[in-house]
Amino acid sequence: HIYGCGEQFSYFDLRGKPFPLWTSEQGVGRNKTSYVTWQADCKENAGGDYYWTFFPQPTFVSTQKYYCHVDNSCYMNFDFSAPEYHELALWEDKTTLRFECADTYIALLEKLTALLGRQPELPDWVYDGVTLGIQGGTEVCQQKLDTMRNAGVKVNGIWAQDWSGIRMTSFG
């Protein structure tokens, strides 16, 4: 099994498919055979595809206890279609590919995070309430926050993707 390539929304195990790595809106539906994706494509060209992601990362981990990381930010295609090998295509002349293996997954993760950096511990406030994901402008956010607080819900924060003002699209 193969895992990684950043934040992939459609598949956890990447085996069997190519994954072009490029930053893009994730899309609605993300399945070109579905009616929802077709509608989103027709109306706003917003249907997306299975590999569309906000966060592509040129790193993958194998259940054979190795990782591969590419030190580059160019357009790439990581193709895991073949059962016996992987194909990596990079739109750049020079790059560094890093491969490491380990006897255990913990040891492999230690090596990978030594290279890429370790996630810092989250601050205490994150565990003390719920973070609301809201949109609709300042007034709507305030109304929903008040509703939650009046119901006795402890709120530690608000994530508002339309913080710069109301930006309603056909898909949210």
Residues 77 and 97 in one domain: yes
Q: Do 52 and 132 fall within a single domain? A: no
Indicate whether 100 and 137 sit together in one domain. Answer: no
Residue 76's domain spans which residues? 2-116
Give which of 84, 30, 86 is closest to 58, Cα–Cα.
Answer: 86
Encode the chain (172 residues) as per-residue pLDDT tens digits. Answer: 999 999 998 899 999 999 999 988 777 777 778 888 788 778 877 777 788 888 999 999 999 999 999 999 999 999 999 999 999 999 999 999 999 999 999 999 999 999 999 999 999 999 999 999 988 888 888 999 999 999 999 999 999 877 666 666 655 5
Q: How far is CA 161 from the centre of its chain?
A: 16
Same domain, 66 and 48: yes
* Number of domains the chain is built from: 2
- Confirm if 21 and 78 have CB atoms less than 8 A apart: yes
Do 142 and 84 have their domain in common? no
Neighbours of 74 (CB within 10 A): 14
**Global pTM value:** 0.77
CA pair distance 62, 74, nearest whole angstrom: 23
Nearest to 171 by CA among 30, 33, 51, 32: 30
Radius of gyration of the chain (CA): 20
* Same domain assignment for residues 105 and 128: no
